A and B are shown apart, each in its own frame.
Chain A
Amino acid sequence: MAVLFIVTFATMFMVDLGPGDPASVLLGDAITPQLIKQVHHDLGLDKPLIERYGSWVAHAATLDFGKSYRTKQPVWSSIRQRLPVTLELALLAQLLALLVAIPVALWTAYRADGRLDRLWSVGSSLAISSPAFVLGLVLAYFLGVRARWFPVTGWTPFGQSPLDNLRGAFLPALTLAVGEIAVYSRLLRADIIATLQEDYVLAARSRGLSDLYVLVRHALRPSSFSLLTLAGLSLGRLIGGAVVVESLFALPGVGQLLIISINTKDVLTVQGIVVFVALAYVVINATIDVGYAWLDPRVRGVYAR
């Protein structure tokens, strides 16, 4: 709660400090000092920062996050409008990342220091160190422009055409996933290698079980705890909007909204997004705890019986 206050106040303070004026954005060319004053009064911007913050908190407590200076739309509904895009992107990226990272981690742990493991170690360092805007452009160029497999920009709502929707979401999701794949696979690999030295893995092997069975049915689960934590954190980050990727692929998501709002000094929308992200983290952390219980019966034991 205290964190929420600090974060929202800091957001308002910083956006306020920055250059620019929402009034000038709203008024466009027809700008006069008189009109600016009028707009400031209408939006309550003539009051001191502290007072504005106080009134925002009072309204936020009743789940009223105010209206955007720019669009006059309630902040909450404009976030909700863009949420499906961001949410789908985030989940799709996570899914892709896990789908690739888990098998790769299993193999590179099983054949540690093998040829593929070394190759992957180089490849993943490369992936981690390449920024999203470079990676996104490269992927868009080869898979979108050259191969024409996926559209480079734009968004089709899922309800309209599920196939087009997934095709459109693929490139941005892949861009987001590449970095995650690299991190997840390295992390999980290290944990699996440690698990493979455990007595219970040796015991399972001494019972004649196949290597694949031991890896998947004995070693994977107790090795996934840190992966779960990391995946949860990164999902939280992505729900706040993948700013760079959404801008790059022109997707109408929360990240794009955030960028526009910051540029137009639309403080209330920025505030709304900040609160939303904070809440999303809380929900995700609770989900991670449930995930731990699912992974590890020793955690569960407290509730059972």
Chain B
Amino acid sequence: MSPLLQLRGVSTWFETPAGAVRAVDDVDLTLVAGRSLGLVGESGSGKSVLSRTIMRLLPPNAKVSGEVIFEGRNLLSLPRREARRLWGAEISMVFQDPMTSLNPVVRVGRQLTESMRLHLDITRREAQRQAQDLLAQLGIPEPGRRMRGYPHELSGGMRQRVSIAAALACSPQILIADEPTTALDVTIQRQILDLLGRLRADRGMAMMLITHDLGVVAGRTDDLAVMYGGRIVESGPTKVLFRTPRHPYTAALLASLPRIGARKHARLETIPGLPPTVIDPRGCCFAPRCQYATTECQQEEPMLGEPDESGQRFACFHPIDAVTSVTAGAGGEQ
């Protein structure tokens, strides 16, 4: 259980004319070698900004504080030149939309091999051979011909396989997948998720799977972190969180999942209200939408507690207790 990537007090905010918008707020997160971590939250919860913070892909008006430690080095303060040696080689990223994450005017082959030739110091021929093998491994028919072609000749699912191949080209230890299936057809989503799971297991890679869809992480990730308003509100082993969510937000998210065996035409549960505006937040950011909220929640900000014996942590003054939560979160995964 050695931590491979450790986020300590990571905050990201954007300087805008309206004031500083805090997209990620004091996040602690640990990615363990060879394990998968699901990062779940609704739109605007800051999960994509967090992934881009780790990869230093933020626009110039973004400010970042905190540490992202990889092999004893802080990725956020490392000189770019040194950080570049890790990107693609040790840590890589798969983007949400394969329609936009591959360069339309660059041949597939070059997009796969350019990072290999940079990081692995191999000949063009060798890189091409490896890339071709990789495409075949990822279930792409006629990999040789695909390499010579352009992304627009491929379907969405095939493109996402190519972007995954590009991310995995140098066999990184960590893969960050930012909503890798959101832009795909439902039937393809499952294929891509299974593929990612298989590749991760085969390569002993650690993966951070970012999604707004709890159904995606159910049964696919070892650990889970729930994000809301730029903060981690609850984290722990996926199974534990699905069985006994302690934070009302996690419980509400689970309750909003459609489940098999429910009464026909039953309405899906929704969470009333909208995610909070992130300019100058005060108190618990979920309080306005929380049925358990008290004045205390509006005044003070609950901190993420120490992990209990099952590894679960939550940031709430009025957690759902283990007994009632069985009903509140019933039917999640099991």
Contacts and interface: CB of A to CB of B under 8 A. Distances in A.
Contact of A218 (B87, B100, B103): B103
Nearest to A305: B153
Interface string A187-227: 00000000001111111111111110100011001100000
Contacts of A199: 95-97, 100-101
B57 interface: yes
Interface in A126-184: none
Contacts of A208: 84-89, 115, 118-119
Interface stretch (A66-74, A282-290, A294-302): A294-302
Nearest to A206: B93
Contact of B118 (A112, A198, A209, A222): A209
B312 interface: no
Size bracket, chain A contacts: 20 to 34
Interface string B219-243: 0000000000000000000000000
Nearest to A203: B101
Contacts of A218: 103, 106
Nearest to B59: A197
Contacts of A295: 105
Contact of B100 (A198, A205, A207, A213): A198
A73 to B, nearest CB: 48
Main SS at interface, chain A: helix
A297 B114 contact: no
Interface in A204-263: 204-211, 213, 217-218, 221-222
Interface string A22-63: 000000000000000000000000000000000000000000
Contacts of B255: none
Nearest to B96: A199
Contacts, number: 84
B163 to A, nearest CB: 7
Contacts of A221: 105-106
Contact of B104 (A203, A204, A217, A296): A296
B286 interface: no
Contacts of A301: 150, 152-153
Interface string B43-68: 00000000010010101100000000
A298 B115 contact: no
B102 A200 contact: yes
Given A209-B118, A296-B105, A203 B152 contact: no
Nearest to B86: A208
A207 B105 contact: no
Contacts of B84: 208-210
Nearest to B116: A207
Nearest to A219: B103
A137 to B, nearest CB: 42
Contacts of A296: 104-105
Contacts of A207: 87-88, 92, 114-115, 118, 166-167, 169
Contacts of B52: 202
A218 B30 CA distance: 33
A183 to B, nearest CB: 23
Contact of B88 (A206, A297, A298): A206
Nearest to B94: A203
Given A208-B118, A298-B150, A203 B102 contact: yes
B93 A222 contact: no
Interface in B123-160: 150, 152-153
Contact of A297 (B86, B93, B150): B150
B104 A200 contact: yes
Contacts of B105: 221-222, 295-297
B104 A222 contact: yes
Contacts of B92: 206-207
A6 B264 CA distance: 72
B24 to A, nearest CB: 17
10 contacts: A199-B97, A199-B100, A200-B101, A203-B93, A203-B101, A207-B115, A208-B118, A218-B103, A222-B104, A296-B105
Given A206-B88, A207-B88, 4 more contacts: A208-B89, A208-B115, A208-B119, A211-B80
